[in-house]
């Protein structure tokens, strides 16, 4: 399985001009952290990246069940010998001798971790499906309760980091249901299993060593360290790298505990978003309404000011006027022209640096709005069937055959595929939104 995490934007994350005096200094990210944001297979937040992967793109990793079974058997047989090598690597990476002695002999190989790592979903979620599962009444109500519970503390975080509290609560709700589900797999065993799997050994070895160092620096205990199969931990599902670089002590007890302390988790989320480039005073974006006959080719990542969008007849989701503003934004129609439309601002991209998914970022923003008392979506979510990966492959093959070059037929709804669909639509009298609606797919497949 390959994720689209290699497309995480490499940007200058330090924007001193955007800082207010009262806010914490935005430290330049380490080279390591920057590499983390730019390279394949080094996600910031692997669990949620994988969970929502299907919403943005997917590359199949063609391993049959039998292949996975033999891979599991092979990795299991090699596990002991692999760990001997990892002990040396851990010491070289700065893990203490006492920690190596205490933990390595207790590592257990988890077959399920390899199976999950190689699993190949058959379906790709659509925006209506994704969104309605996440931004629901339960999450909104619970989010408001959590917001009220932490109101004063959230205010201090906003003063220090510039992130409004309702966003912090929203991330928390989407990552772990406000701590209700933080994962139940042993972090150390999961990471050791993946460190001894050839495919991303280097990345997961580094995460394992950082997790071991966190045990020393933060007094974390093996049995407390439970999370996702891929090593994401605590209320905010931080990987060890993120925990090490961005987590902070919010409740002032001298220890950073992303499992046991909600304040540590909220403060860490604020610090992380600040370091990722959050711009205080700016929202994520907003739902908008497009005029009749709107040219959907403009929803192609084009940047315009709000004033320019306004001049094209776009209004707020409730029908009222957009303000005149030089704020730059992009128009997004994640479910095609029949679904909701959004203008997204710079902080939308910051949210995507936490988790590189457009669907996730819209869900974070909209849930935050509703936690703060805002309205739900004004547009109706169209009833779209989930895509089968194999259907997207068929669509791509047919587009290529018809002369719309969408590259390799890989089952990913990437930019080239969207552009190919858009061109096909424009030349065949369909609304050119680049979205593979059932009617568009039918038309493509039935074209001779
Ligand atoms: Ca603490």
What percentage of the chain has pLDDT greater than the value 70?
Answer: 87
| Ligand 1 centroid, distance to 118 Cα (angstroms) | 36
| Ligand 1 centroid, distance to 249 Cα (angstroms) | 4
Assigned domain for 402 exists: yes
Average pLDDT, the chain: 88
pLDDT of 157 reads 98
pLDDT of 258 reads 97
| Ligand 1 centroid, distance to 258 Cα (angstroms) | 8
Assigned domain for 105 exists: no
What percentage of the chain has pLDDT greater than the value 90?
Answer: 79
Query: What is the 3 state secondary structure string of the chain?
Result: CECHHHHCCCCCCCCHHHCCCCCCCCCCCCHHHHHHHHCCCCCCCHHHHHHCHHHHCCECCCCCHHHHHHHHHHHHHHHHHHHHHHHHHHHHCCCCHHHHHHHHHHCCCCHHHHHHHCCCCCEECCHHHHHHHHCCHHHHHHHHHHHHHCHHHHHHHHHHHCCCHHHHHHHHHHHHCCCCCCCCEEHHHHHHHHHCCHHHHHHHHHHHHHHHHHHHHHCCCHHHCEECCCCCECCCCECHHHHHHHCCCCCCCCCCCCCCCHHHHHHHHHHHHHHHCCCCCCCCEEEEECCCCCCHHHCCCCEEEHHHHHHCCCEECCCCCCCCCCCEEEEECCCCCCCCEEEECHHHHHHHHHCCCHHHHHHHHHHHHHHCCCCCCCCCCCCCCCEEHHHHHHHHHHHHHCCCCCCCCCCCCCHHHHHHHHHHHHHCCCCCCCCCCHHHHHHHHCCC
| Ligand 1 centroid, distance to 67 Cα (angstroms) | 44
Assigned domain for 259 exists: no
| Ligand 1 centroid, distance to 271 Cα (angstroms) | 14
Assigned domain for 400 exists: yes
User: What are the pLDDT digits (tens) for 316-335?
Assistant: 999 999 999 999 999 999 99
| Ligand 1 centroid, distance to 44 Cα (angstroms) | 22
Report which of residues 80 and 13 the model is more confident about: 80
408: domain range?
387-445
Assigned domain for 83 exists: no
pLDDT of 351 reads 98
Task: Give the pLDDT mean for 86-110.
Answer: 97
* Residue 51 reports pLDDT greater than 60: no
pLDDT of 108 reads 98
pLDDT of 43 reads 38
| Ligand 1 centroid, distance to 94 Cα (angstroms) | 24
* Residue 446 reports pLDDT greater than 70: yes
**Cα gap 447→438, rounded to integer Å:** 14
* Residue 35 reports pLDDT greater than 50: no
* Confidence label for 21 from pLDDT (cuts 50, 70 and 90): very low
| Ligand 1 centroid, distance to 268 Cα (angstroms) | 10
The answer to which of 48-52, 77-81, 189-193, 368-372 has the lowest mean pLDDT is: 48-52
The answer to which of 7-16, 66-75, 186-195, 259-268 has the lowest mean pLDDT is: 7-16
| Ligand 1 centroid, distance to 261 Cα (angstroms) | 6
* Residue 55 reports pLDDT greater than 60: no
The answer to which of 14-18, 67-71, 118-122, 410-414 has the lowest mean pLDDT is: 14-18
Task: Give the pLDDT mean for 138-163.
Answer: 98
pLDDT of 36 reads 37
| Ligand 1 centroid, distance to 265 Cα (angstroms) | 9
Assigned domain for 411 exists: yes
| Ligand 1 centroid, distance to 251 Cα (angstroms) | 5
| Ligand 1 centroid, distance to 267 Cα (angstroms) | 10
| Ligand 1 centroid, distance to 306 Cα (angstroms) | 41
* Residue 384 reports pLDDT greater than 50: yes
Task: Give the pLDDT mean for 154-168.
Answer: 98
Assigned domain for 178 exists: no
CATH number at residue 425: 1.10.101
* Residue 6 reports pLDDT greater than 50: no
| Ligand 1 centroid, distance to 213 Cα (angstroms) | 17
The answer to which of 79-88, 93-102, 113-122, 152-161 has the lowest mean pLDDT is: 113-122
pLDDT of 249 reads 98
Which of 324, 371, 372, 363 is closest to 344 using CA atoms? 363
Q: Look at the chain and report how many structural domains it folds into.
A: 1
User: What are the pLDDT digits (tens) for 168-201?
Assistant: 999 999 999 999 999 999 999 999 999 999 999 9
Assigned domain for 28 exists: no
Phi-psi region of 159 (alpha: psi -120 to 50; beta: other; left: phi over 0): alpha
| Ligand 1 centroid, distance to 142 Cα (angstroms) | 23
pLDDT of 27 reads 60
| Ligand 1 centroid, distance to 155 Cα (angstroms) | 18
pLDDT of 22 reads 59
pLDDT of 1 reads 30
| Ligand 1 centroid, distance to 433 Cα (angstroms) | 48
| Ligand 1 centroid, distance to 159 Cα (angstroms) | 19
| Ligand 1 centroid, distance to 25 Cα (angstroms) | 21
| Ligand 1 centroid, distance to 270 Cα (angstroms) | 14
């Amino acid at each position: 399985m390959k994720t689209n995490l290699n497309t995480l934007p490499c940007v200058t994350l330090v924007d001193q001009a955007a800082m207010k005096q009262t806010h914490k200094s935005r430290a330049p990210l380490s080279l390591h952290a920057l590499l983390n944001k730019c390279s394949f297979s080094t996600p910031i937040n692997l669990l949620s990246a994988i969970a929502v992967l299907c919403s943005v793109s997917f590359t199949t990793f063609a391993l049959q069940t039998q292949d996975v079974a033999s891979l599991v058997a092979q990795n299991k047989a090699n596990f002991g010998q692999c760990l001997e090598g990892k002990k040396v690597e851990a010491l070289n990476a700065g893990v203490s001798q006492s920690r190596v002695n205490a933990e390595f002999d207790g590592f257990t190989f988890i077959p399920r971790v390899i199976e999950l790592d190689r699993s190949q979903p058959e379906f790709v979620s659509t925006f209506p499906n994704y969104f309605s599962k996440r931004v629901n009444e339960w999450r909104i109500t619970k989010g408001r309760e959590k917001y009220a519970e932490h109101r004063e503390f959230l205010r201090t975080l906003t003063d220090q980091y510039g992130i409004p509290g309702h966003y912090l609560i929203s991330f928390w709700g989407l990552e772990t249901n406000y701590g209700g589900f933080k994962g139940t797999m042993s972090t150390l065993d999961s990471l050791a299993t993946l460190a001894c799997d050839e495919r991303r050994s280097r990345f997961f070895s580094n995460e394992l060593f950082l997790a071991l160092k966190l045990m020393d620096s933060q007094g974390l205990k093996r049995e407390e360290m439970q999370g996702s199969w891929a090593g994401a931990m605590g209320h905010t599902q931080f990987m060890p790298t993120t925990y090490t670089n961005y987590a902070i002590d919010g409740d002032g007890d001298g220890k950073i505990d992303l499992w046991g302390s909600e304040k540590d988790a909220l403060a860490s989320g604020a610090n992380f978003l600040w370091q990722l480039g959050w711009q205080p005073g700016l929202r994520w974006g907003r739902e908008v309404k497009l005029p009749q006959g709107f040219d959907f080719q403009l929803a192609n990542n084009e940047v315009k000011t709000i004033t320019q969008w306004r001049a094209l007849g776009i209004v707020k989701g409730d029908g009222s006027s957009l303000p005149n503003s030089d704020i730059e934004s992009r128009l997004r129609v994640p479910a095609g022209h029949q679904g909701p439309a959004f203008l997204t601002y710079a902080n939308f991209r910051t949210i995507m640096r936490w988790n590189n998914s457009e669907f996730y970022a819209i869900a974070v923003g909209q849930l935050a709005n509703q936690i703060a008392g805002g309205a739900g979506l004004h547009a109706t979510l169209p009833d779209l069937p989930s895509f089968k990966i194999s259907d997207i492959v068929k669509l791509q093959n047919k587009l290529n055959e018809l002369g719309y070059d969408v590259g390799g037929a890989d089952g990913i709804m990437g930019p080239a595929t969207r552009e190919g669909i858009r061109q096909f639509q424009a030349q065949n009298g369909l609304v050119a939104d680049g979205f593979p609606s059932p009617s568009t797919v039918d038309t493509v497949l039935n074209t001779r």
